[in-house]
A and B are shown apart, each in its own frame.
Chain A
Amino acid sequence: MSEKLHEPDFPAAEAIDAPEEPVETRTGLNIVVCIKQVPDSAQIRVHPVTNTIMRQGVPTIINPYDLFALEEAMRLRDDYGGTVTVLTMGPPMAEDALRRALGLGADKAVLITDRRFAGSDTLATSFALTSALTKLAEEAPIDIVFTGKQTIDGDTAQVGPGIARRMGLNQLTYVSAIDSLETEAATITVRRRSEGGVQVLQSKLPCLITMLEDTNHLRRGTLQDMLRAARAPLTVWSADDAGIEDPMKCGLRGSPTVVKRVFAPQPRAEKAEMVAVEGKTPAQIGDAILDVLFAKSPKLEADVSAKITA
């Protein structure tokens, strides 16, 4: 990977000045969707003594936010032609997530897996994924990289922007809709969720889009896709295969953040004061709650009445 970040110029300037690929050589869009296999968080349990995550038997799923990115990518492919490649970094078993994406209609799948990736924080993750994307771009230039808004296990929303920065892609986060795409002019117009409203942004390909949730409905894969998914060969790359020359940028060693302590939330020292309800009518319960509440916090009664009269 070319290390753009240490060049004195502002990295994004490169994308602006980079010569555009000749339009006539394009055969549709080359789209890559970065996905992550995550534990189904609804089923995670914590070991009561050791405070560690009990992973045994916890099913894994494709990060739900990534599915909106995948669907949007496939829609663009259906409209403009081209290919959708799904890319993930993870242990060998992350293959399941890729096959599932193929079954939904993705065309190709790439897994980067290496012990050296273990313990990656978001900076090291975006480095590894960028290396793989750069390698993929050697075959054909990438037009759009999609990611989900965030993952449900890490919740950071940082890997997408990290990739955009490293690759000099125009960064479009929290996208709720793609309004238009002109492949010849390489322009794209999207709606981006921001505080109190939506920005309508016009930008250029190549770009990175992080897709907002609930923005589309995931298709069911065709029978043909599902049959193909089961048997299709996957591209599996080690760190070396992905063209990573500097292992110090991978995994734990490439992660500036250090997890010093993992612990379960402590119960509050003081338990809830229980309102006696035995033998009371609902109306009496209602009054009993207010008695205890206002006794506990006399100021609240004034605050509440102030709110009503206002």
Chain B
Amino acid sequence: MAQAPQNPASSRAAMQMQLAEKFKSYKHVWVFVEIERGKVHPVSWELMGEGRKLADDLGVDLCGVVLGPRDEGTKQAIKEAYHYGADVCYICEDPLLADYRNEPYTRAMTDLVNKYQPEILLLGATPLGRDLAGSVATTLQTGLTADSTELKIADDKSLAATRPTFGGTLLCTIHTLNHRPQMATVRPRVMAMPEPDTSRSGRMVWHSLRMKEDDIVTKVLEFVSDAQVEKANLAYADIVVAGGMGLQQPQNLALVQRLAAVLGAEWGVSRPLVQKGWAPAERQIGQTGNTIRPKLYIAAGISGAIQHRVGVEGADLIIAINTDPEAKIFEFAHLGVVADALTVLPALTDAFARRLSARAMAS
């Protein structure tokens, strides 16, 4: 690329891997199994599915890192880690790991990495995963690629992590050539959830934390559960209906909600609607909001800016409704309707209701 003064990084694109001797023993792919309040975050299993492919490409083991208190939740997480593809689990069970706190988690993770030396370490780009990944990478002085959307093993066997940059306008592929482990975070719903194989199990490696409560400055006084867990529902919904600027008026959001209600779907909005204050931030779909991966996504009056596209591309089927036949959304939708969302939404709602009730009566 002939833009060296603008982007000095481009001159490094041709850089070759020259791994220091101390890193040559680093081997295997690790996935951090994120447990919060006794439950594994689904992103961990999505990563396990992706990690399995990387490990197979490299011909190495896939390992889960399970940190938590000694309880049923942790036990279950270990069991499931094998079901989702792990060959080995590195386990640190300690009451100090009951609630997530940066200090003991960073300690456990960095100690494990230093001792067992993985070449790749993957974490979910969740509040917990990002808090931990930044500390671990800095402590280990290694490279960390945030919010990757694609992971591949390159010809030189290094990890090629592709991520959107500048708000999704461009994609860039990043390598950590000369440091180990190569770390990356991936947002929930970007990778497909693998099918668990309940017949699988594997080896366990136990590790002790060697910390006392007095060593940890930060205390958890309380955990206030969310009354509504809307955000999680949107990311994991099977059907999502969303509206954009084509709705014209805030009250027309009701058309989106009505269709969603008929379909038992979740509803969302594009970023401009959140910026206008028409809908709360947890309803936002796209690069800076929720990444969704539904079976069906209906986008009404959404132009389909790249920031939106990267959040919905994982959908099995996208229906786009927009008055502008040149709208970007038709470049990645599967089914397009050039019409006003305000008339199509109610019509579609009726059509679904009629069709589905007819089907229900017939069966």
Question: Which of A's residues lie within 8 Å of B, judged by CB?
Answer: 5, 10-13, 15-16, 39, 41, 44-46, 50-53, 55, 118-119, 121-123, 126, 152-162, 164-166, 170-174, 189, 191-204, 213-214, 251-252, 255-265, 267-268, 270-275, 277, 282-283, 285-287, 289-290, 292-293, 296-297, 300-301, 303-305, 307-310
| Known pairs A161-B134, A267-B332, A286-B344 / 11 extra A-B pairs, C-beta < 8 Å | A189-B221, A194-B36, A197-B223, A200-B221, A200-B223, A256-B177, A264-B170, A272-B318, A272-B335, A300-B296, A303-B295
Q: Is the CB of A272 within 8 A of B320?
A: yes
Q: Looking at the complex, which one of B9, B215, B346 makes contact with A282 (CB distance below 8 Å)?
A: B346
Q: Is the CB of B337 within 8 A of A275?
A: yes
- Cα distance, A242 to B37, chains bound together (Å): 43
- Chain B residues with Cβ under 8 A from A197's Cβ? 37, 223-226
Distance in angstroms from A59 CB to nearest chain B CB is 14
Question: Which of B's residues lie within 8 Å of A, judged by CB?
Answer: 1-3, 6-10, 12-13, 15, 36-37, 41, 99-103, 106-107, 126-128, 130-131, 133-135, 137-139, 141-147, 160, 164-179, 215, 217-226, 229, 232, 238-239, 262-265, 281, 287-288, 295-296, 306-307, 309-310, 316-320, 330-339, 343-344, 346-352, 355-356, 359-360
Q: Is the CB of B221 within 8 A of A213?
A: no
Q: Is the CB of B343 within 8 A of A153?
A: no
17 contacts between A and B (CB under 8 A): A46-B169, A119-B8, A119-B9, A153-B166, A155-B167, A158-B134, A158-B138, A172-B218, A195-B36, A197-B223, A197-B224, A199-B220, A257-B144, A261-B173, A273-B334, A274-B330, A300-B295
Q: Is the CB of B331 within 8 A of A258?
A: no
Q: Looking at the complex, which one of A170, A283, A289 makes contact with B217 (CB distance below 8 Å)?
A: A170
- Cα distance, A153 to B168, chains bound together (Å): 9
Q: Is the CB of A252 within 8 A of B12?
A: yes
Given known A-B contacts A197-B226, A199-B100, A267-B332, A285 and B344 have beta carbons under 8 A apart:
yes
A-B residue pairs, 7 tightest by C-beta? A161-B134, A286-B351, A286-B347, A256-B143, A272-B336, A41-B167, A156-B146
Distance in angstroms from B230 CB to nearest chain A CB is 11
Q: Looking at the complex, which one of B1, B36, B130, B332 makes contact with A52 (CB distance below 8 Å)?
A: B1
Q: Is the CB of A256 within 8 A of B142?
A: yes
Q: Looking at the complex, which one of B9, B100, B165, B281 makes contact with A153 (CB distance below 8 Å)?
A: B165
